[in-house]
């Protein structure tokens, strides 16, 4: 899509697509060309739900892009407009359908926009030279300041270290409340690179727990991690956050490996780094190495349910459900995630009765739920939003012989970059799909993305 020749007015904003500018009073915001193209298309169709497919077709004009690009574009537009996804003023997400531009839009003569552009005086030669020297001075001072920041010892402030350790402890709990506490603690520390990296970790963990728009959260985390590394390239949590982003949303296992190698060189025994390395190795099919890394993560964080659950999951996808049950039995904690994984391990062994009994406990044993594993999956799926648990729903339909429906759900999960797709062919319940042409094609497309 080329930039619209029109100028638009909505609310108290003017949009000038040919200049890639948004204006509001004395405020001017410059957008990326593609972001402005997306806004211009929405402005041309106000009040109407514009589907994702339509936006991708009209804005990207046949370029091979995924929904990721569109989600990032909408995120950037909302950020520029000061909009909020949950309480939108400008761009409403219509679940399962697309986006609607809410304000009334008025076309404005282009001449009006041009005349509103402030005239900038061209400085005479002497002034230009002064500006050039001033710019050089700013650059030199910035480089010196950056060197000071990078050279500053990371252990020079006991109070800072205590605050960072407290915040990292909140990260380890991996709950919505603990992540909020961690975010507040990191923000209190300002622009320290370790705090920026901590905020990146908060965003990635929220994405993992689906506490918001995954693509927007990973996009936010990437920016924070890169800012941290620009100040100090030895910040472990920044490399760790990038490793998780490259693996879980980019599906770029080589980039994930490079980030994790840097993190491991700085902190070879860090349980969180070992945990993400285990995911990366497993995604490559290196199951023995993955289980070894996950086991070392458990040894380094013996009280962490998350690390133990990850070890059990990786043992399941490595076709070692008996080992997964041993891992789960090694803790006396009655944790819902461990219970769910134990059910999956029993299912992998073909013991649907035991799997159903455990899943019944995981679901809170409401009287309305049946005891059969697959029936419980169906009952739970009915209570979830349409865009949640897509892979779980696909397994249910595959079990019932509805293979085309299962494949449609898996295609949606693929477009959303659901992490389960990385291990899809090794998850219990998908045997009926293994001979399906579409299933094999989806796995091959994922492999090409992983290795590209």
Q: How confident is the model at residue 33 (pLDDT cuts 50, 70, 90)?
A: confident
- Torsion sign, CA atoms 159, 165, 170, 171: positive
Q: Does residue 283 surpass a pLDDT of 80?
A: yes
Edge-to-edge strands, sheet with 98-101? 49-51, 98-101, 91-94
Q: Which residues contact 322 (CB under 8 A, 6 or more apart)?
A: 345, 349
Position 380 scores a pLDDT of 63
What is the distance between the alpha carbons of residues 410 and 391, in angstroms, rounded to a whole number?
6
What is the distance between the alpha carbons of residues 369 and 371, in angstroms, rounded to a whole number?
7
Q: Which residues are registered as beta bridge partners of 10?
A: 13, 105
Position 426 scores a pLDDT of 87
Position 383 scores a pLDDT of 60
Q: Which residues contact 350 (CB under 8 A, 6 or more apart)?
A: none
**What values do phi and psi take at 152, rounded to 5?**
-65, 130
- Say whether pTM exceeds 0.75: no
Position 22 scores a pLDDT of 92
Q: How far is CA 301 from the centre of its chain?
A: 25
Q: Does residue 297 surpass a pLDDT of 80?
A: yes
Position 381 scores a pLDDT of 64
Position 26 scores a pLDDT of 86
What is the distance between the alpha carbons of residues 207 and 216, in angstroms, rounded to a whole number?
9
Q: How confident is the model at residue 66 (pLDDT cuts 50, 70, 90)?
A: low
Name the nearest CA neighbour of 354 among 346, 344, 345.
346
Name the nearest CA neighbour of 202 among 238, 229, 160.
238
Q: What percentage of the chain reaches a pLDDT higher than 90?
A: 33
Position 153 scores a pLDDT of 38
Highest mean pLDDT among 70-74, 221-225, 335-339: 221-225
147-151, 211-215, 270-274, 298-302: which has the minimum mean pLDDT?
Answer: 147-151
Q: Does residue 305 surpass a pLDDT of 60?
A: yes
- Write down the mean pLDDT value for the chain: 81
Q: Does residue 13 surpass a pLDDT of 60?
A: yes
- On whether the CB atoms of residues 231 and 146 are closer than 8 A, the answer is yes
- On whether the CB atoms of residues 10 and 48 are closer than 8 A, the answer is no
Q: E strands within 27-159? A: 27-30, 49-51, 91-94, 98-101, 105-108
User: When comparing pLDDT for 367 and 228, which is higher?
Assistant: 228
31-45, 266-280, 321-335: which has the minimum mean pLDDT?
Answer: 321-335
Position 127 scores a pLDDT of 34
Q: Which residues contact 382 (CB under 8 A, 6 or more apart)?
A: none
> What are 155-199's pLDDT values in tens digits?
456 778 888 888 888 888 888 898 999 999 999 888 899 999 999
Q: Does residue 67 surpass a pLDDT of 70?
A: no
Q: Are strands 7-10 and 105-108 parallel, antiparallel or unpaired?
A: antiparallel
Position 76 scores a pLDDT of 83
**Sequence-ordered alpha helix ranges (H) in 82-208:** 110-116, 125-151, 158-173, 176-188, 193-208
> What are 113-139's pLDDT values in tens digits?
444 444 333 343 333 333 333 333 333
Q: What is the mean pLDDT of residues 33-41?
A: 89
Q: Does residue 318 surpass a pLDDT of 90?
A: yes
């Amino acid at each position: 899509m080329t930039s619209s020749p029109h100028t638009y007015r909505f609310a108290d904003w003017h949009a000038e697509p040919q200049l890639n500018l948004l204006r509001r009073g004395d405020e001017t915001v410059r957008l990326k060309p593609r972001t402005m193209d997306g806004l211009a298309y929405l402005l041309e169709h106000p009040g109407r739900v514009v589907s994702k497919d339509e936006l991708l077709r009209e804005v990207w004009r046949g370029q091979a892009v995924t929904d990721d690009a569109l989600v990032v574009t909408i995120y950037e537009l909302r950020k520029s407009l000061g909009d909020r996804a949950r309480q939108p003023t400008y761009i409403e997400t219509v679940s399962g359908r697309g986006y609607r531009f809410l304000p009334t839009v008025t076309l404005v003569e282009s001449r009006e926009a041009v005349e509103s552009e402030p005239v900038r005086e061209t400085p005479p030669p002497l002034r230009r030279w002064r500006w050039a020297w001033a710019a050089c001075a700013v650059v030199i001072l910035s480089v010196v300041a950056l060197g000071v920041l990078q050279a500053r010892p990371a252990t020079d402030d006991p109070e800072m270290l205590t605050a960072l350790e407290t915040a990292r402890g909140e990260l380890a709990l991996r709950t919505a409340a603990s992540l909020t506490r961690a975010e507040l603690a990191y923000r209190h520390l300002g622009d320290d690179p370790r705090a920026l990296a901590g905020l990146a970790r908060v965003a990635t963990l929220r994405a993992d727990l689906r506490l918001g728009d995954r693509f927007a959260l990973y996009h936010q985390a990437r920016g924070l991690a890169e800012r941290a590394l620009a100040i100090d390239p030895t910040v472990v949590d920044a490399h760790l956050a990038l490793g998780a982003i490259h693996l879980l949303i980019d599906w770029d296992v080589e980039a994930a490996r490079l980030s994790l190698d840097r993190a491991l060189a700085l902190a070879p025994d860090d349980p969180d780094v070992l945990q993400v390395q285990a995911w990366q190795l497993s995604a490559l099919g290196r199951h023995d190495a993955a289980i070894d890394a996950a086991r070392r993560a458990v040894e380094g964080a013996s009280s962490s349910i998350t690390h133990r659950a990850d070890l059990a999951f990786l043992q399941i996808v490595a076709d070692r459900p008996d080992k997964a049950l041993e891992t789960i039995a090694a803790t006396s904690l009655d944790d819902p995630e461990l219970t769910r994984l134990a059910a999956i391990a029993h299912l992998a062994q073909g013991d649907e009765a035991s799997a159903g009994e455990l899943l019944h406990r995981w679901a809170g044993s409401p009287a309305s739920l049946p005891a059969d594993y697959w029936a419980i999956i169906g009952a739970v799926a009915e209570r979830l939003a349409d865009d949640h648990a897509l892979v779980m729903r696909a397994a249910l339909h595959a079990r019932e012989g509805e293979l085309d429906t299962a494949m449609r759900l898996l295609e949606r999960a693929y477009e959303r970059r659901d992490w389960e797709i990385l291990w899809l062919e090794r998850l219990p319940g998908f045997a009926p799909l293994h001979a399906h042409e579409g299933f094999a094609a989806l796995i091959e497309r994922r492999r090409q993305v992983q290795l590209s």
